[in-house]
Amino acid sequence: FADTSNVRELVGRQCDLEAIPEHVATVESLVRSALASDAVRLAAGHQAHRELYVGAPLGDVMVEGYVDLLVRTADGLVVVDYKTDTVSTPAQIDAKVATYELQAATYAVALEITTGLDVVDCRFVFCQAGDAIERSVPDLAAAKQRVRDAVMRAVDL
């Protein structure tokens, strides 16, 4: 996380693999905004895992997904999810966080089941040219409970 000297080269290779070489500059800008975020700086000082598959049984349902970045801190686990949505106003940011909070809470529930550790924060890093915008799920405990309730209701149908 600390050495960003080869970001342009890595972005160029990935853009070639994805058949979008014309977007190298844009992708590089987004990557650099993510690397400068508080969440990534937190990861640099702790045990962290990127692109981590997580799956766990919740009742009779398997919940699963890929966590962009998982950081293990002394207080518990922190889930980081990168987003490329264009947001600028506080209202737009709040709306996007509300849209994605159950996704992050599902990751949190699955991680807690599989690891036995508490997920203490789920952060969204909205990558954009310049500084990233970073927000946490405002009431993570309630969001995790909504995930559990929704899965149980779906099973009962």
CA 124/CA 33 separation, integer angstroms = 13
Instruction: In whole angstroms, give the CA distance from residue 53 to residue 37.
Output: 22
Domains and CATH numbers, the chain: 36-156 (3.90.320.10)
Q: Rounded to an integer, what distance in angstroms lies between the CA atom of residue 27 and that of residue 12?
A: 9
Closest alpha carbon to 98 in 67, 151, 57, 138: 138
Q: Could you give the C-alpha distances from 155 to 4, 59, 60, 83, 105, in angstroms and in order?
A: 46, 8, 7, 30, 18
- Calculate helix-pair angle for 140-156, 90-115, nearest 10 degrees: 70
Q: What is the pLDDT along the chain (157 residues), one digit of tens a residue?
A: 667 889 999 999 999 999 999 999 999 999 999 998 999 999 988 999 999 999 999 888 899 999 999 999 999 999 999 998 888 888 999 999 999 999 999 999 999 999 999 999 999 999 988 889 999 999 999 999 999 999 888 765 4
